[in-house]
Amino acid sequence: MMSENGDDIGGSGYSLEDLSAYLDRGRTPRIPAIERNAECQAILASMDRMGRLSREIVEEQAAEPLAESWYDDIMREVMREFRAGRDIPLARTADGTELVVTEGALYELIRSVGDGIDGLFVGRVRVDQAEPEAPLDVRVTVSVRFGRPMAAVVEQMRDGIRSAIEQHGDLRVGRVDVTVGDVHIDEGEDR
């Protein structure tokens, strides 16, 4: 079902609601317009990650009811990040063609670094570039599992972000600020 209300994600013709339904169906039948669209893929990855996280939280805090707006607030933040699809120049070829990466793709790359670190959840992500040739400055807020050494986790995240952007994006990285905004407890742990 294609979007008819103008909430088109990345020119795919599908809305956030359409993507959610597609993910709920196990991405079947395959829809090429979604599968080939980078913005749709990034949003689906975020929705999948958010689904896993929300299931973990629900299991962990089954006795405590979650606010009804919890999921909506998180999805608004995800959409805000991916709608901020500013193009960041990567390179210019001899024939004048400019290669770019979207801000949303960088957000997803940064989030994937956090996914690879045990006991860390990525919250807010911000990427700033003062001018087109300037290095990227990255600000990330994370939650660290109780008992993990924060300094080591933050350093691992900071190094991972720098490495991932420079390797995959061919961009220069300036400041990488990682702020621990929360500490969480995994299921089955006691305080």
The pLDDT tens digits for 45-94 are: 888 877 776 666 556 555 555 555 655 666 666 655 555 467 776 766 77
The predicted pLDDT at position 54 comes to 63
Using pLDDT thresholds of 50, 70 and 90, give the confidence band for residue 191. Answer: very low
pLDDT tens digits for range 92-114: 677 877 777 777 778 888 988 99
The predicted pLDDT at position 169 comes to 61
Distance CA 134, CA 128 (A): 10
What values do phi and psi take at 46, rounded to 5?
-65, -40
Using pLDDT thresholds of 50, 70 and 90, give the confidence band for residue 167. Answer: confident
* Closest CA relative to residue 115, chosen from 38, 49, 54, 60: 49
Mean per-residue pLDDT of the chain: 78
Considering only residues 152 and 189, tell me which one the structure prediction assigns the higher pLDDT. Answer: 152
Q: Is 102 helix (H, G, I), strand (E, B) or coil?
A: strand
How long a stretch of residues is the chain?
191
* Tokens standing for residue 70: 């919890």
Considering only residues 182 and 51, tell me which one the structure prediction assigns the higher pLDDT. Answer: 182
* Tokens standing for residue 92: 């210019």
Residue located via tokens 């020119």: 11
* For the ranges 4-8, 44-48, 162-166, the one whose mean pLDDT is highest: 162-166
* Closest CA relative to residue 109, chosen from 61, 157, 65: 157
Is residue 114 within 8 Å of 159, Cβ to Cβ?
no
Per-residue pLDDT at 154 exceeds 80 = yes
Distance CA 127, CA 159 (A): 16
* Closest CA relative to residue 117, chosen from 88, 82, 89, 157: 157
The CATH homologous superfamily for domain 84-191 is Cation efflux protein, cytoplasmic domain (3.30.70.1350)
- What are the residues whose beta carbons fall under 8 Å from the beta carbon of 41, sequence distance 6 or more? 34, 35
The predicted pLDDT at position 74 comes to 61
The predicted pLDDT at position 17 comes to 82
Cite the residue boundaries of each domain of the chain with CATH code 3.30.70.1350.
Answer: 84-191
On the CB side of 4, how many CA atoms lie within 13 Å of its CA? Answer: 1
The predicted pLDDT at position 87 comes to 72
Distance CA 15, CA 35 (A): 14
